[in-house]
Amino acid sequence: MSAVDQLFQELKKQGQKAFMPFITAGDPNLAFTSTLLKTLLRHGSHICEVGIPYSDPIADGPVIQASYTRALAHGITLSDIFEMLRQTTPELAAPVVTMVSHAIIYRAGLKQYVKTAKQSGVAGLIVPDLPVEESKPLQQICQAENLSLIQLITPNTPRDRALRIAASSTGFIYYVSVVGITGERKQVPQSIKDNVGWLREQTDLPICIGFGISNPEHIRTLAPMADGLIVGSAIVRRIAALDEQSEAEVLQDVEDYVKTLMVAISGC
């Protein structure tokens, strides 16, 4: 089993749901990203999703797009990110997965990207722009290296296609709660319950819900139907305040915010 498989197996035994924060690597710099990872996981996060900055975001809203732009403007490179992760992950008591465009993996070379990711302590890859029809080569490489290949299913995904995506995924399924891009929303769609309920009947993989989750009420609504909840834009928006606040103040703000979500998820 991969580290992601082991995590969800343990959480299931304990009757717990996974809380998964998303942060952008290198926003505003990699030293801060390393500190933030340690802070998030020290305060109860079960797994952390690290976004690899990309000039043409796939489904990212303005908050995450802006974080990618800031990181790229500082000259961040893929090798720099992997080096930061290589130094940081041994200090973390939870898995780290990367959210990465298939274009970046392809340019690096599928085998090379997966090999370097594993050497850097990465436990899985979330690849939002990987068509299921083209996923087999990367799937086989990840399987050989015991890394999870996590793929996305959306409300608009036809059910026959959703079945193929689920069959080619490992670790967990990333269920996109809304049609559109990432970003904080006031409400979550009522259709999620039916869609996730159907999907759960088709696969044994854990199902984690992301996009638009930003407050404890969202957590309480979605946790009963999910194995994990993913929160991104609400955290990344707080990091953007580094223009006006010190690192210590921003870290405290993120910590306080995450604690409110952890209280909500622990009560579900």
- The pLDDT tens digits of the residues spanning 151-190 come to 999 988 999 999 999 999 999 999 997 654 444 445 555 6
The reported pLDDT for the residue numbered 61 is 72
pLDDT reading at 54 higher than 50: yes
pLDDT reading at 147 higher than 90: yes
Q: Which fold has domain 3-266?
A: TIM Barrel (3.20.20)
Element housing 160 (H / E): helix 159-168
* Eight-state DSSP code of residue 224: G
Rounded to an integer, what distance in angstroms lies between the CA atom of residue 21 and that of residue 231?
Answer: 5
Contact 151, 136 (CB under 8 A): no
Nearest by Cα to 45 from 2, 7, 88: 7
Mind telling me the catalytic residues? 49, 60
Could you give the angle at the alpha carbon of 138 between the alpha carbons of 133 and 141, nearest 5°? 145
Q: Is the dihedral of CA 237, 228, 14, 144 positive or negative?
A: negative
The reported pLDDT for the residue numbered 189 is 56
Rounded to an integer, what distance in angstroms lies between the CA atom of residue 247 and that of residue 243?
Answer: 10
The reported pLDDT for the residue numbered 268 is 65
The reported pLDDT for the residue numbered 149 is 98
Residues 120-129, mean pLDDT to the nearest whole number: 96
pTM of the model: 0.92
Q: Where are the domains of the chain?
A: 3-266
Binned at pLDDT 50, 70 and 90, residue 60 comes out as: low
Lowest mean pLDDT among 8-17, 62-71, 90-99: 62-71
The reported pLDDT for the residue numbered 187 is 52
The reported pLDDT for the residue numbered 182 is 45
The reported pLDDT for the residue numbered 242 is 86
Lowest mean pLDDT among 16-30, 67-81, 173-187: 173-187
- Token readout for 177 is 């709660």
- Token readout for 63 is 């908050």
Rounded to an integer, what distance in angstroms lies between the CA atom of residue 90 and that of residue 113?
Answer: 19
pLDDT reading at 144 higher than 80: yes
